[in-house]
């Protein structure tokens, strides 16, 4: 995992360098490319993960699992269509916890599961609000296109301030209660400084891409491959990609259809983030279950 973190750091600086060279519209194009490849890929094998939770999966069980997973996605899509504000709030909540869990699950120990879960959510929420704070106009436009609700810039700032206070308090509590966390705090604060610089100089899509792909998707791919196949090496990476290819292709075809139907930029952004959200709901549940299985297997 240390090697993955080092790769993420290097790629982040490459992303920062690219942001100084590329115009905003080219940042968006490159950002979508990475999201459509590595970003979508990391969530394409959820069904494989679900089947790996069981010792034996019959031929009749797999279609049921796939149907259940797709049903969860369709429910998320329906919520976005009929209750967009609720769906957006749920998306932020699920994404926040999911980002925090992926980043911290194997880094901290010796604290209660409730404090751990609270920190996962607050950390992920802080990352999202940090991105929103530096891209308020774009965030307001996307939220309006999804919900027809005009969010005020001051609301984003206030949410960021409140989140920062809660995040700071939890940092203090963890420093006092976890020796493992205390050793990590300096480097983790440096990472947050890097995120701040990237989010400040980038567009909303590019900033989201750098975090989502380099800091979330790549570590998640490493964890998933290691969990399913026992080791993350070239052979197992190819096996993972082969299994994920059909689901990845379906996702890309779906996004392509959305693009041709909704060519207006703002509408496309709304549908794009809605699609990401719809997949995030079941994916975050699957990854949470994967981490629980890993823990139980090591006891």
Q: How far apart are the first and last CA of the chain?
A: 21
> Which tens digit of pLDDT belongs to each residue from 261-273?
666 555 666 667 6
* pLDDT over 70 percentage in the chain: 88
Predicted local distance difference test score (pLDDT) of residue 195: 93
pLDDT mean over 206-231: 90
Task: Tokens for 232, please give them.
Answer: 């993350």
Predicted local distance difference test score (pLDDT) of residue 266: 57
Identify the residue with better confidence: 29 or 210.
210
**pTM assigned to the model:** 0.88
Confirm if 128 and 196 have CB atoms less than 8 A apart.
no
Predicted local distance difference test score (pLDDT) of residue 263: 60
Window from 72-86, 194-208, 219-233, 263-277 with minimum mean pLDDT: 263-277
Helix boundaries (H) for the chain: 2-21, 24-34, 40-41, 46-52, 61-82, 84-104, 113-134, 136-147, 153-177, 179-201, 204-209, 218-229, 234-261, 265-298
Identify the residue with better confidence: 247 or 150.
150
Confirm if 121 and 90 have CB atoms less than 8 A apart.
no
**For residue 14, what pLDDT band results from cuts at 50, 70 and 90?**
confident
The DSSP line for 72-106 is HHHHHHHHHHH-HHHHHHHHHHHHHHHHHHHHHTT
């Amino acid at each position: 995992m240390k090697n993955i973190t080092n790769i993420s750091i290097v790629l982040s600086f490459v992303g920062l360098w690219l942001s100084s060279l590329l115009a905003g519209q080219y940042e968006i194009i490159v950002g979508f490319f990475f999201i459509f490849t590595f970003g979508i890929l990391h969530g394409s094998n959820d069904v494989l993960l679900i089947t790996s939770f069981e010792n034996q999966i019959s031929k009749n069980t797999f279609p049921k699992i796939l149907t259940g997973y797709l049903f969860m996605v369709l429910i998320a899509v329906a919520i976005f269509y009929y209750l967009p504000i609720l769906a957006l709030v749920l998306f932020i909540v699920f994404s926040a916890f999911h980002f925090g869990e992926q980043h911290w699950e194997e880094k901290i120990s010796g604290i209660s599961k409730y404090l751990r879960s609270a920190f996962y959510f607050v950390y992920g929420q802080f990352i999202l609000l940090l991105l929103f704070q530096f891209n308020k106009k774009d965030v307001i436009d996307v939220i309006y296109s999804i919900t027809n609700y005009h969010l005020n810039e001051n609301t984003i700032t206030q949410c960021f301030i409140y989140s920062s206070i809660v995040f700071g308090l939890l940092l203090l509590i963890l420093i006092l209660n976890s020796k493992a966390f205390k050793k990590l705090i300096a480097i983790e604060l440096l990472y947050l400084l890097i995120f701040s610089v990237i989010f400040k100089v980038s567009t909303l899509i590019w900033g989201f891409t750098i975090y989502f792909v380099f800091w979330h998707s790549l570590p998640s791919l490493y964890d998933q491959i290691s969990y399913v196949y026992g080791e993350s090496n070239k052979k197992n990476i190819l096996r993972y990609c082969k299994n994920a290819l059909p689901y990845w292709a379906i996702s890309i075809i779906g996004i392509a259809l959305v693009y041709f139907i909704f060519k207006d930029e703002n509408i496309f952004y709304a549908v794009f983030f809605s699609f990401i959200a719809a997949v995030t709901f079941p994916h975050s549940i699957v990854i949470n279950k994967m981490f629980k299985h890993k823990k139980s297997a090591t006891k």
